[in-house]
Amino acid sequence: MSSPRLTEASLHAARSGTVLPTYDRGATKIGIVHIGPGAFHRAHQAWYVDTLLHADKRWAISALSLKSTTLRDSLKDQQGLYTLVELGAAPRARVIGAIRELLVGASDAEPAFARLTTRDTRLVTLTVTEKGYCLGAGNVLDLANADITHDLANPGQPRSTIGWLVEALRRRRAAGVPPFGVLSCDNLPENGRVLHRALVAFAQVRDADLARWIEAEVVCPRTMVDSITPATDDALRARAQGLTGLMDEWPIQREPFTQWVVEDLPAMRDADWQSVGVTLAKDVGVYDRAKLRLVNGPHSTLAYLGLLRGHESVADAMRDEQLAQFAERLMAEDLAPSLGDAPGLDVAHYISAVLARYRNPGIRHLLSQIAWDGSKKLPVRLTITIGEALRAGRPIHRLAMPIAAWMRFIARQARAGVPIVDPEATRLTAVGNACTGEASADVARFAVFDSVLPPALFGQPELRRALETAYARLATPHSALTAELSS
């Protein structure tokens, strides 16, 4: 007998062990409009909201896709319900009931504006990727962007996220309704400030008074989000059905770890977000730096060293005891000191949590994917820290190792004829093919990538020596860490 489709009526048939919403969904009010309801939102913010709804019924979600009909078509018959599978050692299924409404801006413009302008809607959250903000140089609004020029000419039929938000705010102001708060949940530096500036810039072209009102009244807290969310595939659909006994058109999956840090502003005190695990922080930047340096930096380290040592995934690399020990020492002794004062963040606990995430056997995070775009990732993940360590007089020999491993990786890929995935792929391939294995000459060849090795930094003899030593040791990757771990 086939499994029933996931709906409110079939929840009673869910298998034992499935976590279900125990609140009355019909008694909830929609208090949040989320623009860009992809997998990450449904695995992350909607999970927090689902937890909150058990105690506070005011915060159900209206999911607004600006163009795509996929989510609406997939979840409409499921009344917005879907399955979240947490990928721990023993996978666990939870049915999320936070999404009460599914709208598509292209066809539901007036219902969407009605939802955005109602007094009950107090927050608008966004996961629209960096591209969705229509930014130009300096992360300011690109007024020449095609969607922005369209929305300035046709404010009632917007295409861009910024156009939607400003028109909704204009309508609220005209109706005497206070503005909603807007939370960017995208990995955009200074996301709240960048968003606020873009809203004001767009409004300034339309109406100077509206722009002044938005600048003074609209709150855009900074945020930081973190959780690995692999894409949905047929294997996940089968796994979700096996766990719940219910057929779900579009389940989602993520690691058990999840983090949501929001700037502690009065707008965020209207609900007890902290009770469901949201961190309200005066300085979100501390958490941004911690993620960049203690999650992303070691990720790149594991990728390049792990690939050279024959591993495929992060969990595989962490089963390499030497490599795992090296990563932990790098985090504790080299990366953590670069954070400076970190009020509210238990750095030792954070490192332990990150290492546990890396070891999670339920997540197969490929090192080859993490290795993509190294010329763009390494400058912010490691190069900045190396420069700070040199200025502070801290050792850099461990920090140099992943940079040298990147060089060895590029040379190996180029010689093997394997395409390099990087914006600088052509130049990297040429440099990799020119490498001979001689440390001094090869390291010097990579100096042309001045984002990774800025001239002022590469010109320091201490860094040059550290890179050459690490590069030479990596000629034999399986013994390369021995000297580092004994120092």
Q: In this predicted structure, what is the pLDDT of residue 1?
A: 59
In terms of Cβ atoms closer than 10 Å to its own Cβ (0-12, 13-18, 19+), residue 368 is middle
DSSP string, 409-428: HHHHHHHHTPPP-STTHHHH
293 SS3 class:
helix
DSSP string, 160-180: SHHHHHHHHHHHHHHHTPPPP
Strand residues in 185-278 grouped as ranges (E): 223-226, 252-254, 259-263
**How does pLDDT run across 24-35, given as a tens digit for each residue?**
999 999 999 999
Q: In this predicted structure, what is the pLDDT of residue 55?
A: 97
Rounded to whole angstroms, the Cα distance separating 467 from 451 reads 16
Structure tokens at 351: 């490192």
| CATH 3.40.50.720 residue window(s) in the chain | 11-260
Sheet holding 279-281, edge to edge: 223-226, 259-263, 279-281
**Domain 285-486: which topology?**
N-(1-d-carboxylethyl)-l-norvaline Dehydrogenase; domain 2 (1.10.1040)
Top CATH class, 11-260:
alpha beta
List the pLDDT tens digit at each of the 487 positions of the chain: 589 999 999 999 999 999 999 999 999 999 999 999 999 999 999 999 999 999 999 999 999 999 999 999 999 999 999 999 999 989 999 999 999 999 999 999 999 999 999 999 999 999 999 999 999 988 999 999 999 999 999 999 999 999 999 999 999 999 999 999 999 999 888 999 999 999 999 999 999 999 999 999 999 999 999 999 998 999 999 999 999 999 999 999 999 999 999 999 998 999 999 999 999 999 999 999 999 999 999 999 999 999 999 999 999 999 999 999 999 999 999 999 999 888 889 999 999 999 999 999 999 889 999 999 999 999 999 999 999 999 999 999 999 999 999 999 999 999 999 999 999 999 999 999 999 999 999 999 999 999 999 999 999 999 999 999 999 999 999 888 987 877 6
DSSP string, 16-78: TT-B---S-GGG--EEEEEES--HHHHHTHHHHHHHHTTT-TT-EEEEEESS--HHHHHHGGG
Structure tokens at 47: 């999970």
Structure tokens at 358: 């890396």
| Alpha carbon distances (Å) from 308 to 303, 363, 377, 477, 486 | 9, 21, 18, 6, 20
**How does pLDDT run across 155-173, given as a tens digit for each residue?**
999 999 999 999 999 999 9
In terms of Cβ atoms closer than 10 Å to its own Cβ (0-12, 13-18, 19+), residue 391 is exposed
| Alpha carbon distances (Å) from 126 to 19, 191, 242, 303 | 26, 11, 32, 30
- pTM confidence score: 0.88
| CATH 1.10.1040.10 residue window(s) in the chain | 285-486
Biggest CA-to-CA distance, the chain: 71
Please provide residue 260's backbone torsions phi and psi, each rounded to the nearest 5 degrees: -140, 115
